[in-house]
Amino acid sequence: MLRRPRRNRKSQVIRQMVEETRLSVKDFIFPMFLIDGINQKVEVSSMPGIFRYSLDLMLKEIEECMNLGIMAFDIFPAYPESKKDKYASESYNPDTFYLKAIHKIKTSFPEAVVMTDVAMDPYSSDGHDGLVQDGKILNDETLEILGKMSLAQAQAGADILGPSDMMDGRVGCIRKILDDNGFTDVSIMSYTAKYASAFYGPFRDALDSAPKLGDKKTYQMDPANYYEALIEAGLDTEEGADFLMVKPALAYLDVIRLLKDNSNLPIAAYNVSGEYAMIKASAQRGWLDGERAMMESLLSIKRAGANIILSYFAKEFAHLMRK
């Protein structure tokens, strides 16, 4: 035999020399959950090792992550029911704890990248990403609310806005509002192909943001659809998105590759809460090697074409790289 591929696998050094996909802490955005209060650190029961933090402790956690090389953070707020209403009006209240926290994080760590979430569900009494009327999600009326929310987050100091709502036209609406108000440098990472997935369950536990009635299938994408992602990607690109995101990641590696092959924009992938939780739960029961499963999963996302990975494993990965 003239060709023996195993020769390039015969030692760790040679395997590392020829490996085609390499992960770095620079690839990651670390999603974090914020709650109001002081000295609060509450573990998310369905996400072992992940916590909801009050701002004072989140600042310490961010500093620790930055010392490990993680420089980008996606902050999600958890609001009590008492602060929620039909119109998500708390989302653009200048005195709300989320906007104050964004400002504090950014002024405390100006070199960090702060990403925010643009959607109604954390603030909505209906638990949906859009305005609900007679059981329907209103698209165009939602855009006005998302515009107010986006402007408030930009004013607070956000570097990247992440519209996760899946309303038609929201990227163009947000881009225009930002530009009209002088925030031309604020980026948009659009949740381009966000699927109506079963893998979001633990996230909704973390934010207490599950829909009160119905589901999100009229605005999030059908898991059966592949080429539809190109329609969404084309629209988001035309409307001014700076990054395109696929969510979830592991069940949609083919969609990550599709967007990578058909777009010149950076591709992000969200390694979502359910994907994190299933590895953690299996590892806790001794069913698999959690560290190896984490690495294999993250490598698959990068190999599929993701330039950026949003993952709850980010800090654990960064610790592993320091060993």
Q: Is residue 1 part of a domain?
A: no
Residue 17 lies in a domain: no
Q: Considering the domain boundaries, does residue 129 fall inside one?
A: yes
Residue 19, in any domain of the structure: no
Structural domain span for residue 120: 26-322
| Count of structural domains, the chain | 1
DSSP for 231-250 reads HHHHHHHHTT-SEEEEESSG
Kindly tell me if the per-residue pLDDT of 260 is higher than 90. yes
Q: What percent of the chain has pLDDT over 70?
A: 98
Higher pLDDT pick, 207 / 321: 321
CA dist 30 and 177 (Å) reads 27
Q: pLDDT > 90: what percent of the chain?
A: 92
Low-confidence winner among 101-115, 197-211, 230-244 (lowest mean pLDDT): 197-211
State residue 209's pLDDT score: 63
Query: Residue 80, SS3?
Result: coil
Q: In this structure, what token pair is assigned to residue 209?
A: 């943001």
The alpha helices in the chain, defined as continuous H runs, are 12-18, 55-67, 97-108, 139-156, 170-180, 201-207, 228-238, 253-262, 273-284, 290-304, 314-322
* pLDDT of 210 higher than 90: no
Does pLDDT of 213 surpass 80? no
The answer to the question of residue 6 being in a domain is: no
Q: Which residues pair with 42 in a beta bridge?
A: 52
Please indicate, yes or no, if residue 21 is contained in any of the structural domains. Answer: no
Q: Is the pLDDT of residue 211 over 80?
A: no
| CA separation for the pair 190, 14 (Å, rounded) | 39
pLDDT in tens, 5-57: 999 999 999 999 999 999 999 999 999 999 999 999 999 999 999 999 999 99
- Band (pLDDT 50/70/90 cuts) for residue 322 is confident
Q: Which of 136-140, 229-233, 255-259 has the lowest mean pLDDT?
A: 136-140
pLDDT of residue 68: 97
Catalytic residues: 194, 247
Residues 103 and 107: their CA atoms lie apart, in Å, by 6
Predicted confidence (pLDDT) per residue in 95-136, tens digit: 999 999 999 999 999 999 999 999 999 999 988 999 999 989
Q: What CATH number is attached to the domain comprising 313?
A: 3.20.20.70
> pLDDT (tens digit, 9 = 90+) per residue, 134-162?
989 999 999 999 999 999 999 999 999 99
Write down the pTM of the prediction.
0.95
Angle between helices 290-304 and 273-284 (to 10 degrees): 150
Q: What is the mean pLDDT of the chain?
A: 95
10 inside domain: no
Token pair for residue 30? 């670390």
| In-domain check, residue 8 | no
